[in-house]
Structure 1
Amino acid sequence: MLRRKFGDTPLKWTGVGILLLIWLVFGAVPDQTSIPTLPATIQALFGELGDPNYWGAIGDTLQTWFVSLVIGSVVGITLGILAGLNVWMERSIAAPVEFFKTIPIIAVLPLGILVLGTGPSMRMTLVAFAVTWPLLVQTLYGVRSIDPMIRDSARSIGVGPVRTFFSVVLPSASPFIATGVRVAAAMALVITIVIELVAGGSGLGVEISNAALSGGTALPTMYALILTTGLVGMLLTGIIGAVERRLLAWHTTYRSIEVAA
């Protein structure tokens, strides 16, 4: 009963506790200046909570993350569905997809800056570009995973293409799409912060870079900002996971997860 209620939450936080303990012990080592102590970092984090620039940086990063994820999801899921339903299209885009999905986003960052400048549009475009390809592939696999017998049975009883798509194809592919969105969300946040670190502008990445360049007494602030990125990522992952489980509670995959928990 307790397991059904609390799941594996204590176990999930055990690793975090161990890492914090190691950090606390390591910070007590004398003549160690590259990594601030855990208490100093926590103090810096609480100090940042009262700074409007801190919340503004989080807001800028989240804005880029959200818009990029929406654009990348719309493009990637749409192309994945079309390619999954059409063999000719799947084969025609196979080579471009394999090419683009292997390009590190940092490699096209100079081109993005040259064409779009260093503003929000550049960051959103590059992040959306990066998340499109894994979403496309995941959606394609989801559509292709449908049992042909189910599709043929729907066609044999006179179900039209549109109804077949919404009643057979989309429900069957939805767990694949949901997993793709969850992975793409984490990827989008990482890439957003990396672009902010390199290209500047505004956001958590810029604040981390500024603190790193200041050095000295600003190191606890830098680590506090790094902790912030992790906490933001955990919060977003938790929200997306909760929405995913709520929307797909009807699916057998998610029912089995709830029973196992």
Structure 2
Amino acid sequence: MTENSRTRLVRGVIGAFAAAAVAEALTRLGVVDVAPVTEVAARFFALAADPGFLANALDTILAWALGLALATLAAVALGVLLGSVPFLGRASEVVVEFLRPIPSVALIPLAILLFEGGTDMKVALIVYAASWPILLNTLYALRDVDPLAKDALRSFGFGPLSVLWRVSLPSAAPFVATGVRVAAGIALVVVVAAELLDGGESGIGVVLIEARSTGGSTDVMLAVAFWAGLFGLAVNALLVRAERVAFRWHAVRAGEPT
């Protein structure tokens, strides 16, 4: 770990403790009517040993992972196709720009009706919501590939598929990975929102619904929210690290620490 990284870590820890102290004071003084930080922290660690919560969290994570994997495969394949064939890219531009702004949360009632809730509904919503950042990053990355590099390969007699495989895809890969990282966060938000509105049998959203129905246990609600946030933070950190390892050359060129 570099000195700058250690400094950022220390500052982050100090900031987190300061924010927790302020939140504790506000709740104890009655300024904010939620459970104090100390009670939320106690519930946070208690949930780690709660089989019921762990089973619900696992259900959410499995739906999230499956939906994100399918979205990545579909969006990358479609992005490569539209980005490599100019005619298809131009023909689909209106459709992409029309569908992209539609909020995935607004489609939850329709998804519940079509899939009757459950994992299929959550996966379908994740695929829709998570595909857009991956698709757009793939399209924009392919369009920004250095034309001189492609022309140089063509001058040696390589065909379109070889140029795509040897130049376009390697150049676009770091940006596609960034799209996947953005999509991972979106997928987590969507799956929890779908569980909250669906009111199904399992998932983190179901735990939140049960906490609300049993007197509004804000310590449980906040602890569950923090677990979801911690999972999202861990996934983002892993993906960032994977990007730096897989695309070390890109990080070096961009001046980022490796």
Instruction: Work out the CA distance in 2 between the residues paired with 1:117 and 1:162.
Output: 42
Structure 1 counterpart of 2:120, which letter?
S
* Offset from partner CA, 1:203-227 (integer Å, 9 cap, x none): 11111121122225x2211111111
SS in 1 for 2:34: coil
SS in 2 for 1:102: coil
Instruction: Work out the CA distance in 2 between the residues paired with 1:103 and 1:10.
Output: 40
Structure 1 counterpart of 2:178, which letter?
T
Instruction: Work out the CA distance in 2 between the residues paired with 1:242 and 1:251.
Output: 13
Structure 2 counterpart of 1:209, which letter?
I
Structure 1 counterpart of 2:212, which letter?
A
Partner of 1:11: 11
Structure 1 counterpart of 2:60, which letter?
T
Partner of 1:239: 238
Partner of 2:192: 193
The Cα shift of 1:192 comes to 0.7
Change over 3 Å in CA distance of 1:26–1:111 after alignment to 2: same
SS in 2 for 1:257: coil
Partner of 2:137: 138
Structure 2 counterpart of 1:248, which letter?
F
Partner of 1:27: 27
Matches within 5 A, 1:1-261: 2-3=2-3, 6=6, 8-30=8-30, 34-201=33-200, 202-216=202-216, 218-253=217-252, 256-258=255-257
Identity of aligned residues (%): 32
Contact in 1 for aligned 2:26/2:32 (Cα 8 Å): no
Of 224-233 and 32-41, the range deviating more from structure 2: 32-41
The Cα shift of 1:33 comes to 7.2
Contact in 1 for aligned 2:27/2:33 (Cα 8 Å): no
Alignment RMSD (CA, Å):
1.9
Structure 1 counterpart of 2:168, which letter?
V
Contact in 2 for aligned 1:100/1:133 (Cα 8 Å): no
Instruction: Work out the CA distance in 1 between the residues paired with 2:256 and 2:147.
Output: 26
SS in 2 for 1:250: helix
Aligned residues: 257
Structure 2 counterpart of 1:71, which letter?
L
Contact in 2 for aligned 1:68/1:127 (Cα 8 Å): yes
Instruction: Work out the CA distance in 2 between the residues paired with 1:116 and 1:196.
Output: 13
Change over 3 Å in CA distance of 1:252–1:226 after alignment to 2: closer
Contact in 2 for aligned 1:245/1:254 (Cα 8 Å): no
Contact in 1 for aligned 2:35/2:219 (Cα 8 Å): yes
The Cα shift of 1:107 comes to 1.6
Instruction: Work out the CA distance in 2 between the residues paired with 1:184 and 1:54.
Output: 25
The Cα shift of 1:253 comes to 4.9
Instruction: Work out the CA distance in 2 between the residues paired with 1:95 and 1:2.
Output: 47
Instruction: Work out the CA distance in 2 between the residues paired with 1:123 and 1:254.
Output: 39
The Cα shift of 1:103 comes to 0.8
Change over 3 Å in CA distance of 1:24–1:72 after alignment to 2: same
The Cα shift of 1:198 comes to 0.9
SS in 2 for 1:60: helix
Unaligned runs of 5+ in 2: none
The Cα shift of 1:248 comes to 0.9
The Cα shift of 1:95 comes to 1.2
